[in-house]
Amino acid sequence: MNSLLRYKSIKRPIRLIIFDLDGTLTVPVMDFKKLKQDLGFPTGQDVLEVIKGLNVEEKTRANKIIHEFELEARNNLIIQENTEKLLLFLESNNIPKAIHSRNSLENIKYFIDKVNFNFHHFVGREIEPPKPMANGSLEILRVLNQSYQDNPITPNQVIFVGDSVDDIKTSKNLGALACLLKNEYNKHHSHLADIEIDNLIELQDIISHFNDLN
Ligand SMILES: [Mg+2]
């Protein structure tokens, strides 16, 4: 196993996995650089942030471009290797799973239908502010904890799995363990994560370590 687990000595039960969607549960196909070019936005800035400052007409145009961009990505959707195996592992160990994405709810639902697993909750960019703020993940916790009122899930019992530095920040803002699914574009950020993996299946051993499942 190549995955690096920092804080190995800290034992705590993991009771919820929150996944980013694009590039994490799906293979990265979104070319954000090209999107920003099409939008005419500066490369260094956050798309959702720039849109906020636009007038109604510009906003409509930008949202149309983003919608087409996401639709194209959705049509080319490839599920990440070992996603199903990991989701099955979580189900057989009664560990809830959720999605916190910056994508639209419609596209998240499309993925869920395609992968055909039950997610306990999922939120997209309708929850503001978006990642890297943790509001979406807090909403997931709030909804799930309605079923765990006697023993609520706390942020430090959550692993947030993502493929970007924003996902790591979201995880830190939540107070969860940040897991980075590494690829050639993000690996230089891996030192910021608590857990780094090359393949989703590595999470099985990591969760087993935390939850004494072996
Ligand atoms: Mg992503």
Quick one: average pLDDT of 179-185?
Answer: 94
121-123 and 4-5: which strand pairing? Answer: unpaired
Task: Quote the ligand 1 centre to 24 CA distance (angstroms).
Answer: 6
Task: Quote the ligand 1 centre to 62 CA distance (angstroms).
Answer: 20
Q: What's the confidence (pLDDT) of residue 159?
A: 97
Dihedral pair phi/psi, residue 163, rounded to 5°: -120, 10
List the one residue out of 154, 171, 169, 163 whose CA is nearest residue 200: 163
Task: Quote the ligand 1 centre to 103 CA distance (angstroms).
Answer: 9
Task: Quote the ligand 1 centre to 150 CA distance (angstroms).
Answer: 33
Cα 162 to Cα 192: distance, rounded to the nearest angstrom: 12
Task: Quote the ligand 1 centre to 123 CA distance (angstroms).
Answer: 14
Task: Quote the ligand 1 centre to 164 CA distance (angstroms).
Answer: 6
DSSP sequence for 45-101: S-HHHHHHTS-HHHHHHHHHHHHHHHHHHHHT--BPTTHHHHHHHHHHTT--EEEE-
Q: Identify residues whose C-beta is under 5 A from ligand 1, the ion.
A: 20, 22-23, 163-164
Task: Quote the ligand 1 centre to 50 CA distance (angstroms).
Answer: 19
List the one residue out of 1, 48, 18, 6 whose CA is nearest residue 210: 6
Quick one: average pLDDT of 172-188?
Answer: 95
CB 29 within 8 A of CB 73: yes
Looking at domain 4-28+78-211, its CATH superfamily turns out to be HAD superfamily/HAD-like (3.40.50.1000)
User: Lowest-pLDDT range, 43-47, 56-60, 136-140?
Assistant: 43-47
Q: Which residue has the higher pLDDT, 11 or 168?
A: 168
Cα 199 to Cα 183: distance, rounded to the nearest angstrom: 9
* Mean pLDDT, all residues of the chain: 92
Q: What's the confidence (pLDDT) of residue 181?
A: 97
Q: What residue spans define the domains of the chain?
A: 4-28+78-211, 32-75
pLDDT at 124 > cutoff 60: yes
> In which band, very low, low, confident or very high, does the pLDDT at 2 lie, cut at 50, 70 and 90?
very low
Cα 104 to Cα 126: distance, rounded to the nearest angstrom: 7
Neighbouring CB atoms inside 10 A of 29's CB total: 14
- Predicted TM-score of the model (pTM): 0.89
Quick one: average pLDDT of 9-28?
Answer: 90
pLDDT at 176 > cutoff 50: yes
Q: What's the confidence (pLDDT) of residue 183?
A: 93
> In which band, very low, low, confident or very high, does the pLDDT at 38 lie, cut at 50, 70 and 90?
very high
pLDDT at 9 > cutoff 80: no
Q: What's the confidence (pLDDT) of residue 6?
A: 63
Task: Quote the ligand 1 centre to 142 CA distance (angstroms).
Answer: 23
Q: What's the confidence (pLDDT) of residue 96?
A: 98
> In which band, very low, low, confident or very high, does the pLDDT at 1 lie, cut at 50, 70 and 90?
very low
